[in-house]
Amino acid sequence: MSTASRIAVLIPALNEELRIREVVESALKHCPRVILVDDGSTDATLERIADLPVTVIQHETRQGKGEGLRTGFRAALNQDVDGVLTMDGDGQHLADDIPRLLAAAREYPQHIVVGARLKKRAQQPIHRRLANEFGDWGIAWATGYRVADTQSGQRYYPRAVCELADVAGEGFVFEADILIQAARRLGTRVVSVPIESRYAGDGLAGQLRRSHFRPLTDLYRITSHVVGRVWTHGRVIPRYIEARRSRALIHNPDMTDAGSELAENRS
Q: Mind listing the pLDDT tens digit for each residue in 66-98?
A: 999 999 999 999 999 999 999 999 998 999 999
Q: Mind listing the pLDDT tens digit for each residue in 134-185?
A: 678 888 988 989 999 998 999 999 999 999 999 987 767 899 999 999 999 9
Query: Using CA atoms, how far apart are residues 121 and 217, in angstroms rounded to an integer?
Result: 23
Which residues are 37's β-sheet partners? Answer: 12, 57
Query: Rounded to two decimals, what is the model's pTM?
Result: 0.84
pLDDT of residue 258: 41
Tally the C-alpha atoms within 13 A of residue 190's C-alpha that lie toward its C-beta: 34
pLDDT of residue 263: 38
**Domain segments of the chain: what residues?**
4-266
Contacts of 180 (CB under 8 A, 6+ apart): 139, 142, 143, 226, 229
Instruction: Domain 4-266: give its CATH code.
Output: 3.90.550.10
pLDDT of residue 11: 98
